[in-house]
Amino acid sequence: MNQNVQPHSGAWVSFTYASFFAAAAMVGAGILFLPLDWWAKGYLAMGCVMLVQSCITMTKTVRDMHEASKLVNRIEDARTERLLMDVGKPAL
Q: Is the pTM of this model over 0.75?
A: no
**What integer pLDDT is reported at residue 80 of this predicted model?**
86
Kind plus residue range of the DSSP H or E element containing 63: helix 38-88
CB 1 within 8 A of CB 77: yes
d(CA 78, CA 85): 10
Q: What is the pLDDT of residues 49-63, one digit of tens each?
A: 999 999 999 999 999
Q: What is the pLDDT of residues 22-74, one digit of tens each?
A: 999 999 999 999 999 999 999 999 999 999 999 999 999 999 888 878 877 77
d(CA 8, CA 22): 20
Residues contacting residue 36 through CB under 8 Å, at least 6 positions apart:
44
**What integer pLDDT is reported at residue 55 of this predicted model?**
95
